Chains A and B, each alone.
Chain A
């Protein structure tokens, strides 16, 4: 298990490095330079280039960029607020987005799982139908519609919760946006849980467990749930990143000072450094969450664990890309479990 985690971490670091390289290259390809002032002459420009290290070879520049990244230095903003370090811009906004997104993920995953399980266990009944209707609504109605509706009912009509984000009452003002954001997650998790659970319930090992005499809650808890959870984690991971990094529209509706709005402003005002920095942060979060997911897989699914004594290093689970292809394609969910003779 330790080796497995070590390997995963190493892979993640390399992925992040590769992404940084791509972002850095993109930055080089962008037109112009930071010193695009027509009043500057050649020699003045050279002095400035030397000052900021832009006269060095690209490899050295990249090395320095990465070294600064590790220290948390993303450079400075050009346009949004001149010469403010980007880390400072992000520092105040990221926690807000993560806070709202985290609540949305927690809520969506929990309610979604419950709905899915209830629907699967009561297949074909009214409960199943209601759960299906909720998930169809959640997937098809955009989150800003929920945001507006919630804001109108609970913020305006009933005045239970703040309509606009208030940094002094962070929790209370996060509730409505989290609910609005969580709908999509909740709906997709509910739908996926239901299908996965039905597949597990119809499996041979559930029949075997039943023929042992096990029934009721222990049957579900011991055999069905764990096997249902494995694929669900895969679906949940990208949803988490989506929510954590903020949703522009919902942030606008509730005036949340999050990173989503920062990104849009940065793009609109050609603030390259900020765009690159935010892209890097998104990627880092994505990779970080995938890392957590991979480790979680190892904990939940014994087939992933690579222990010394078992001798069969190759796991029966599909690899990273195969898993994702599966989620996106939504195609055959038959697991090709390898035979270890």
Chain B
């Protein structure tokens, strides 16, 4: 990264979200801090239910109705057409204002499953131009022309003809391209990709990722990826936030998190990543399952699954310990009074091989 002044696009502080369910209150997000700078790519990694999607849905203002934001701020900085910057707290905006000025226009989202995220009864062309007309970015004719161009840009052959197709006439990969075209329709400056390749087969995955990367470069977009696929992270991200049970447990640049992970959970995640030439027959899995957030978590949420857990983990939640300017991890192992614990030797050798560029990931 260059050391010029980086401009913050999004700053999430102390975000806390609760869901009201039949079983009780689920405290899904427990104090999340996230920073994103202009033109950079951030990946939020974590297993299912860790709260990655919920955090980003909060930033989009499309949280489910049974959720409440208990505390926190989501500052988002954008530029008016004349170039003057403006910062708003998305959580404080009225829904109307948010839809009118932010959604689609400045922040756009790509959803996980292209099979369900397009309206089955609307022509894809209409779905693309809908946003442009809604935000009064173009006349109908201009919007149509731009939509054709966008379809071409996202790699759909015969865009003119495809405009009148319905979603069911396209394959999954094609549909995801359409979803990307929809997201780009109003020239947003922040793109949130919620597991954009999970529902696609592997051959298409790489192509879609490449497409998003190219578009990001050309347009200078800031991108947030939500994913549980470390292969995706390695390929696209500048920064990684590792999320566990509604909290960020480790954050840093991609090199720091991949080559110098400090949190036992990150160790587990990296060990559980399949690669093609591991000597071990069995793929490592993190034992146990994530905590049920219906109940108050005392101490470190990961402690019950952590073979390196200390006594204090059961009583007190660890703060964020600073490892470097950009690298933070929330584990008591980093406290100066903690015993010296090294990452598992298998992972250490794997990281060594990764550094030498020997490791090939399955699916690449």
Question: With a CB–CB cut-off of 8 A, which chain A residues contact B171?
Answer: 339-341
Are A301 and B121 CB-contacts (below 8 A) given A208-B179, A213-B103? yes
Judging by beta carbons under 8 Å apart, are A207 and B166 in contact? no
Residue interface mask A182-209, B partner, CB < 8 A = 1: 0000000000000000000001110111
B109-117, B148-156, B305-313 - interface stretch: B109-117
List the count of A-B residue pairs having beta carbons below 8 Å apart.
102
In this assembly, does A316 line the interface, its C-beta being within 8 Å of a C-beta of chain B? Answer: yes
Judging by beta carbons under 8 Å apart, are B168 and A215 in contact? no
Interface band, chain B: 35 or more
Nearest B residue to A211 via CB reads: B109
Question: With a CB–CB cut-off of 8 A, which chain A residues contact B111?
Answer: 204, 207-208
Judging by beta carbons under 8 Å apart, are A227 and B119 in contact? yes
Question: With a CB–CB cut-off of 8 A, which chain B residues contact A230?
Answer: 121
In this assembly, does B146 line the interface, its C-beta being within 8 Å of a C-beta of chain A? Answer: no
Question: With a CB–CB cut-off of 8 A, which chain B residues contact A300?
Answer: 121
- When the two chains form the complex, which single residue of B115, B120, B170 contacts A302, counting CB atoms closer than 8 Å? B120
In this assembly, does B43 line the interface, its C-beta being within 8 Å of a C-beta of chain A? Answer: no
Minimum distance in angstroms from A306 CB to a CB of chain B:
12
- When the two chains form the complex, which single residue of A205, A211, A339 contacts B118, counting CB atoms closer than 8 Å? A205
Which residues of chain B (273-296) have a CB below 8 Å from chain A? none
Complex CA gap A123/B65 in Å reads: 10
Judging by beta carbons under 8 Å apart, are A337 and B168 in contact? yes
Minimum distance in angstroms from A1 CB to a CB of chain B:
13
Most chain-B Cβ atoms within 10 A of its Cβ — which of A203, A208, A222, A312? Answer: A208
Judging by beta carbons under 8 Å apart, are A214 and B168 in contact? no
Judging by beta carbons under 8 Å apart, are B119 and A205 in contact? yes
- When the two chains form the complex, which single residue of A203, A214, A215, A227 contacts B131, counting CB atoms closer than 8 Å? A214
Question: With a CB–CB cut-off of 8 A, which chain B residues contact A312?
Answer: 168-169
In this assembly, does B96 line the interface, its C-beta being within 8 Å of a C-beta of chain A? Answer: yes
In this assembly, does B122 line the interface, its C-beta being within 8 Å of a C-beta of chain A? Answer: yes
Judging by beta carbons under 8 Å apart, are B182 and A208 in contact? yes
Question: With a CB–CB cut-off of 8 A, which chain A residues contact B105?
Answer: 213
In this assembly, does B60 line the interface, its C-beta being within 8 Å of a C-beta of chain A? Answer: yes
Complex CA gap A210/B65 in Å reads: 14
Are A204 and B117 CB-contacts (below 8 A) given A123-B65, A214-B99, A316-B168? yes
Are A223 and B122 CB-contacts (below 8 A) given A337-B115, A339-B115? yes
Question: With a CB–CB cut-off of 8 A, which chain A residues contact B216?
Answer: none
Complex CA gap A218/B116 in Å reads: 20
Residue interface mask B50-85, A partner, CB < 8 A = 1: 000000000010100100000000000000000000
Minimum distance in angstroms from A228 CB to a CB of chain B:
10
- When the two chains form the complex, which single residue of A213, A316, A338 contacts B104, counting CB atoms closer than 8 Å? A213
Complex CA gap A207/B182 in Å reads: 13
Judging by beta carbons under 8 Å apart, are A222 and B122 in contact? yes
Judging by beta carbons under 8 Å apart, are A223 and B169 in contact? no
Judging by beta carbons under 8 Å apart, are A210 and B113 in contact? no
Complex CA gap A211/B131 in Å reads: 9
Complex CA gap A211/B60 in Å reads: 7
Are A214 and B134 CB-contacts (below 8 A) given A209-B119, A222-B122, A339-B115? yes
In this assembly, does B38 line the interface, its C-beta being within 8 Å of a C-beta of chain A? Answer: no
Judging by beta carbons under 8 Å apart, are A208 and B120 in contact? no
Minimum distance in angstroms from A340 CB to a CB of chain B:
6
Q: Chain A at the B interface: mostly helix, strand, loop or mixed?
A: loop
In this assembly, does B205 line the interface, its C-beta being within 8 Å of a C-beta of chain A? Answer: no
Judging by beta carbons under 8 Å apart, are A207 and B122 in contact? no
Question: With a CB–CB cut-off of 8 A, which chain B residues contact A207?
Answer: 62, 111, 117
Question: With a CB–CB cut-off of 8 A, which chain A residues contact B122?
Answer: 222-223, 226
In this assembly, does A326 line the interface, its C-beta being within 8 Å of a C-beta of chain B? Answer: no
Nearest B residue to A218 via CB reads: B134
Judging by beta carbons under 8 Å apart, are B120 and A213 in contact? no
Minimum distance in angstroms from B46 CB to a CB of chain A:
20
- When the two chains form the complex, which single residue of A210, A302, A337, A341 contacts B99, counting CB atoms closer than 8 Å? A210
Question: With a CB–CB cut-off of 8 A, which chain B residues contact A209?
Answer: 119, 130
In this assembly, does A93 line the interface, its C-beta being within 8 Å of a C-beta of chain B? Answer: no
Question: With a CB–CB cut-off of 8 A, which chain B residues contact A51?
Answer: none
Complex CA gap A212/B110 in Å reads: 10
Judging by beta carbons under 8 Å apart, are B117 and A213 in contact? no
Minimum distance in angstroms from A209 CB to a CB of chain B:
7
Complex CA gap A264/B130 in Å reads: 56
Which residues of chain A (221-255) have a CB below 8 Å from chain B? 222-223, 226-227, 230
- When the two chains form the complex, which single residue of A123, A215, A337 contacts B120, counting CB atoms closer than 8 Å? A337
Most chain-B Cβ atoms within 10 A of its Cβ — which of A216, A300, A312, A340? Answer: A340
Judging by beta carbons under 8 Å apart, are A204 and B103 in contact? no
In this assembly, does A310 line the interface, its C-beta being within 8 Å of a C-beta of chain B? Answer: yes
Minimum distance in angstroms from B181 CB to a CB of chain A:
12
Question: With a CB–CB cut-off of 8 A, which chain B residues contact A338?
Answer: 168
Complex CA gap A339/B116 in Å reads: 12
Complex CA gap A312/B167 in Å reads: 12
Nearest A residue to B165 via CB reads: A310
In this assembly, does B100 line the interface, its C-beta being within 8 Å of a C-beta of chain A? Answer: yes
Complex CA gap A212/B112 in Å reads: 16
Are A213 and B168 CB-contacts (below 8 A) given A207-B62, A207-B111, A302-B120? no
In this assembly, does B95 line the interface, its C-beta being within 8 Å of a C-beta of chain A? Answer: yes
Complex CA gap A300/B165 in Å reads: 15
Judging by beta carbons under 8 Å apart, are A212 and B182 in contact? yes
Q: Chain B: residues with CB nearer than 8 A to chain A?
A: 60, 62, 65, 95-96, 99-100, 102-105, 108-109, 111-113, 115-123, 130-131, 134-135, 165-166, 168-172, 179, 182, 185-186
Question: Can you name 5 A-B pairs with beta carbons within 8 Å?
Answer: A205-B120, A230-B121, A300-B121, A303-B166, A337-B168
6 closest A-B pairs by beta carbon, nearest first, are A213-B104, A213-B103, A212-B104, A212-B131, A204-B117, A204-B116
Using A213-B135, A214-B104 as known contacts, list a sample of 14 further A-B pairs with CB atoms less than 8 Å apart, ordered by residue number in A. A205-B117, A207-B111, A208-B111, A210-B62, A211-B103, A212-B108, A213-B134, A214-B134, A215-B95, A222-B130, A303-B168, A338-B168, A340-B169, A341-B172
